[in-house]
Amino acid sequence: MTTDREPPGRAVDVWGAANTLLIWAFVALLILMPWAYAAVPLAAGLLALAGLLLQGAPAGDSEAVLDAEDRLWLVTLLAFAGLWCWDVARTGVWPVAGHGGSWLVPLWPVLAAGLLVWLRYHPPSRTGWWLGLVVGALGAGCIAVYERFALGADRADNGMNAIPFGNLALLLGVLALVAMLGRLAHQNRVLPWLTVALGLAAVGGFAASFLSGTRGGWVALPLLVCMGFRGFHGVFPHRWMLAAAAGVLLLLAVLVAMTTITGDGVHERIVEAVSGIERYLGGDSGNSVGLRLDMWSAGIQLFLEKPLAGWGEGRLQAAWDGMVEAGLVHSAMNRFDQLHSDLIDTAARRGGLGLLSLLALYGVPVWLFARHLRGSQDAENRTLALSGLMICFAFVIFGLTQSMLRDARGLSGYLGLTVACWVLLKTKFLTKDLSRDAGAREDHEVFDHRP
């Protein structure tokens, strides 16, 4: 049995308690409050600055020292930011992110790197992560139900773009489900009501995704479910896994029925997508699917023209405006400020160099989380590693049809969720080592424990 108490001999860390509150606020409010995606990371940055001014650079004790894994991630974040800033410098234009502002998004990975260091020296409690998932996913579900059934909105969006709202709500729901299963596997006695709350939050996140009408999330869901079953293989008896599979299918069936009632459900959205492809093949690209295909085609052509460093922030818009004027793509394309694909948009703007930095931004945390998932037998370590892996893969899939990392909330969500999950994983991994050295054997349940 595990608790969330400090390991023996460790003083209570006031900064760590504040970081726990900030982790909760970020996860809980990411898609609930309009400016939380920017306000919470900035508040965390100010807290870190205050901590450095008040206590100076932290001493390098065994818990606080950054290891090779941390340094690899820091290099990846700084390289991504550095290449993006160089692109801004050579063109003189800051990128336009979500909500029509630049928000200095190329600098956000630098903030994420600084917060990774700060959180490693003053690690938060995982309780903030759990409670954040409950509030964030359950709140998104309540908002989506209210907007669709009380207000009669076509797509639930909470006043933002429906695509990032639906994608992030789905991810929070999946993470809540993983956290619930992890607590069941570990027989955690801390806040027992939280296990049930996480299950309800998972339902809320799934409902918000379906009510938003966001197709990209539906593509990601099967992969995330498969990853979850693979990650929990051997944790529960086989009959429990089958029952869980039946429960997930039943939940999805209920959500499909709910959205069908409003006349804009899963079936309608799929039919719309198929119709859009047929119209595009027939020469009509004036629909959401056709415009995306036009943008991807244009982006690939522009990348091939400048494959090394790309067109740059200040030149790509003019380049595809020229393609519109030449009649090579649909005229509606010039209404958009991104190419609706992180891979294609990055390749067109920053060329092969930018594409490599993006693949590293995805791939390094994937490798690190997978490494811990394979190498650990502890239930909570593996649950956190699985959660981090799901975040990375979810954003890869979301980014196939939407430039999530050019959306201010999307970029903040990816950086914040992965860094938070990583810090909690490393802290949990270290706590296990400290507890073992102190002779505390109660934290040594293995992941293949069967109830």
Per-residue confidence (pLDDT) for residue 13, from 0 to 100: 78
Q: How far apart are CA 108 and CA 71, in angstroms?
A: 18
Average pLDDT on 303-331 reads 87
Cα→Cα distances 338→327, 372, 413, 421, Å: 19, 35, 18, 29
Cα→Cα distances 433→33, 84, 322, 362, Å: 38, 39, 60, 28
Backbone angles phi, psi at 234, to 5 degrees: 90, -10
Whether the predicted pLDDT of 429 surpasses 80:
no
Per-residue confidence (pLDDT) for residue 283, from 0 to 100: 65
Which residue, chain included where needed, has tokens 């390289």? 79
For 45-51, the CB contacts below 8 A with 24+ separation are 45/111, 45/114, 45/115, 47/15, 47/18, 47/19, 47/22, 47/118, 48/114, 48/115, 48/118, 51/15, 51/118, 51/122
186-195, 255-264, 346-355: the lowest-pLDDT one: 255-264
Mean pLDDT of the chain: 83
Q: Which residue has the higher pLDDT, 314 or 421?
A: 421
Amino acid 332 reads A
pLDDT (tens digit per residue) in 114-147:
999 999 999 999 999 999 999 999 999 999 999 9
Percent of the chain with pLDDT over 90: 47
Whether the predicted pLDDT of 291 surpasses 90:
no
Average pLDDT on 421-450 reads 56
Q: In which element (H, E) is residue 173 found?
A: helix 162-186
Average pLDDT on 337-346 reads 91
Q: How far apart are CA 362 and CA 342, in angstroms?
A: 11
Per the CB < 8 A criterion, the answer to whether 273 and 215 are in contact is yes
Does this model's pTM top 0.85? My answer is yes
CB atoms within 10 A of CB 324: 17
Average pLDDT on 180-204 reads 85
